[in-house]
Structure 1
Amino acid sequence: MTQLPIPSHFQPNRVGEVWRVPYQQRSIEAREWARQQQLQPIDRSKPQVALLLIDVQNTFCLPDFELFVGGRSGRGAIEDNVRLTEFIYRNLGEIDQIVATMDTHHLHQIFHPAFWIDREGNHPTPAITTIEPEDVRAGKWRVNPEFNDENIDKLQAYALHYVQQLSDGGKYPLLIWPYHAMLGGIGHALVPAVEEAIFFHGIARNSQAMFSIKGDRTLTENYSALAPEVFTNQFGEPIASKNDSLIQHLLAADKLIIAGQAQSHCVAWTVSDLLEEINAIDPQLARKVYLLADCTSPVVIPGVVDYTAQAEAAYQRFADAGMNIVKSTDDRLFL
């Protein structure tokens, strides 16, 4: 397969910046580019290739934002997105649809500082505070009564239930995150360079990109794009559910390519949930999943936590299950 040249508007040195995508100009250029490169609109009678981009948003991918995924290199998400954007442009003729998930948060959510207070009434310090079941039982951390004073006892009981569910389920313990991916904020938006590539692809191939919101439930984290960390409250009542429509959409693709941030969290949990769905249907379906290992990085907070080992262990588990771990330049992708 011959890869396409990269359009002249792409500037790798601007991938780490915020700017406005000139949609009208790019739409004209994309139509002309499609003509020059003899690209055809997507043909649903042929095997379909989907590219799933997990949370490629400013909040995770740009150094000046809240949860920049630097990886061990310190520039992880920027370097990943240069490769990812080039991958999209070089393979415009092979990728039929791009699906982008978007982490989406509000002020009062269980993983944000405002939800919790200590004995002195102070909120936890984000990025370094984890809350375990024993912390809640001992009263080290309790639900902020101003969050919901009418049902505070019920909410306090739920908080203990929640962290216990994480512990019992082998999940990461509750980490208090900085406010990030706030709905309506600039951090919530896709990285401009990647957004531009998605738009360009849509015009060039006459393909409608799909965007999926995740993480907006108040009482649970949602690392995975497919399912919440916790499904029910202490009474067994549902608080969130699987995204069955997205699961079905992804599994309908003949080839599914996955990239995004962060490898250790939202990417790993999404792929893990996808693998669970695959195993329930036909384990052989794992072979149609390709993980772009050079377009994702783990969470690393220097001096605090390094999830590189967990990310690598997850990817090894996915490979053992039959998924393909490849680089964005790998010739095997479109054989």
Structure 2
Amino acid sequence: MTTATELPIPDFFDPAKVLQVWRVPYQERAAQARQWAQQYRIPPAKEDQQRTILLLIDVQNTFCLPEFELFVQGAVADNQRLCRFIYTHLAHISEIIVTLDTHTASQIFHPLFWIDANGEPPPPLTIITVDDVQCGRWQPNPQLLASLGLTDQQSLQAYAQHYVAQLAAKGKFPLTIWPYHSMLGGIGHALVSAVEEACFFHTVARQQQTRIELKGSHPLTENYSVLRPEVNHDLQGHPLVPVNTALIEHLLAGDRLIIAGQAKSHCVAWTVADLLSEIQQRDAQLAQRVYLLEDCMSPVVVPGVVDFSEAANATFAEFAAAGMQRITTSSTPLNL
């Protein structure tokens, strides 16, 4: 987006560092942000007449840096554009919300959760179907019973069948065994350093704390979407993870919502789909307030294995047909 009201990019921003992990110099950046706000007469966010929220989905090292577990090709360039966007539109972004995919080793989509007849775990990117569980090709690891809060293998087996059957019935992605990623307490879980720096700079300059939303920590379900899990009830109908009603209400209360992050085909698409579902139940016109910043997101592509580009484009075409606006950082549909 190029408008007459764009701010310059601070001298400290180095696009080459977007693919590196480093410590943000908080005190120095805080002093610079205060000076920046004074120099460019940037008001506190609470004074904004139109409230614009920037939702950043899973802009974490695990997805965005080439040497990490689930690198999304295109994420480095996406984040270079994203950082520039935050700095140039600093005065018009009222609030930044970041989601963090948050995992431990013994979750249903990680290898430790499953074993074959020889007690071996599935390799990453294995797809586990209803038939796989029913015939015993893959079964849940009985050694995890205590850590999962279950008492017997029969209950765990029954839940595993319930889980993959629910995914199939709801038309969700089949259960994919992902490499261990976004591990709580690890470097991969952290925001990309350059993006963290931009968010911190915004927090101080606009005097509006970046809101952090954790997702995906329940061991018995997945959370592609930050708004609700893939499977949200156990065999007895008890909820596993509540719908994130507070975040839904907050997102829909703003005047404009801009969405970016990774991956376009998975966590971004699922979050937007859940948000659209909420919008259509309330007022379809609310979709027009949602802007999808498409040059700051990329689909999952594993060369020679899988390519979700076509599926992502089809999904985003559906979002646009529902009234959401597909934009890029070089387009000008918003008066920011």
Report the TM-score when normalising by structure 2.
0.96
Deviations 1:60-112 (A, max 9, x none): 00011111111xxxxx0000000000000000011000000000001110000
Deviations 1:207-237 (A, max 9, x none): 1110000000110000001000001112222
Matched residues in 2 for 1:38 and 1:44: separation? 12
Residue 141 of structure 1: aligned partner: 138
1:313 aligns with 2:314: yes
Moved more, 303-312 or 187-196: 303-312
1:78-227 superposed matches below 5 A: 78-127=76-125, 129-148=126-145, 150-227=151-228
1:40 aligns with 2:39: no
Matched residues in 2 for 1:281 and 1:330: separation? 29
Residue 13 of structure 1: aligned partner: 16
Deviation at 1:45, TM superposition (A): 6.0
Matched residues in 2 for 1:43 and 1:154: separation? 51
1:273 aligns with 2:274: yes
Deviations 1:90-135 (A, max 9, x none): 00011000000000001110000000001111100012x0000001
Q: What's the secondary structure of 1:171's corresponding residue?
A: coil
What letter is aligned with 2:108? I
Deviation at 1:309, TM superposition (A): 1.1
The answer to whether the 8 Å contact 1:126/1:178 transfers is: yes
Residue 30 of structure 1: aligned partner: 33
Deviation at 1:263, TM superposition (A): 0.3
Q: What's the secondary structure of 2:229's corresponding residue?
A: coil
Deviation at 1:303, TM superposition (A): 1.1
Q: Mind listing any 5+ residue stretches in structure 2 that lack a counterpart?
A: none
1:242-321 superposed matches below 5 A: 242-321=243-322
Deviations 1:179-232 (A, max 9, x none): 100111111000000000000011111111100000001100000010000011
Q: What's the secondary structure of 1:258's corresponding residue?
A: strand
Deviation at 1:44, TM superposition (A): 4.5
Deviations 1:120-175 (A, max 9, x none): 11100012x00000010110000111111732110111001100100110000000
Deviation at 1:255, TM superposition (A): 0.2
1:58 aligns with 2:55: no
Deviation at 1:43, TM superposition (A): 3.1
Matched residues in 2 for 1:64 and 1:334: separation? 38
The answer to whether the 8 Å contact 1:100/1:210 transfers is: yes
Q: What's the secondary structure of 2:86's corresponding residue?
A: helix
Q: Could you tell me the percent identity over the aligned residues? A: 57
Deviations 1:28-84 (A, max 9, x none): 1111111111211113561200000000000000011111111xxxxx000000000
What letter is aligned with 1:137? Q
What letter is aligned with 1:163? V
Runs of 4+ in 1 over 4 A off after TM superposition: none
Q: Mind listing any 5+ residue stretches in structure 1 that lack a counterpart?
A: 71-75
RMSD: 1.0
Q: What's the secondary structure of 2:281's corresponding residue?
A: helix
Matched residues in 1 for 2:300 and 2:214: separation? 21
Matched residues in 2 for 1:297 and 1:290: separation? 16
The answer to whether the 8 Å contact 1:290/1:333 transfers is: no
Q: What's the secondary structure of 2:326's corresponding residue?
A: strand
What letter is aligned with 1:81? N
What letter is aligned with 2:250? H
The answer to whether the 8 Å contact 1:94/1:334 transfers is: no
The answer to whether the 8 Å contact 2:9/2:84 transfers is: yes
Matched residues in 2 for 1:185 and 1:241: separation? 26
Residue 327 of structure 1: aligned partner: 328
Report the TM-score when normalising by structure 1.
0.97
Deviation at 1:10, TM superposition (A): 0.2
Matched residues in 2 for 1:257 and 1:154: separation? 43
Residue 73 of structure 1: aligned partner: none
Moved more, 78-87 or 40-49: 40-49
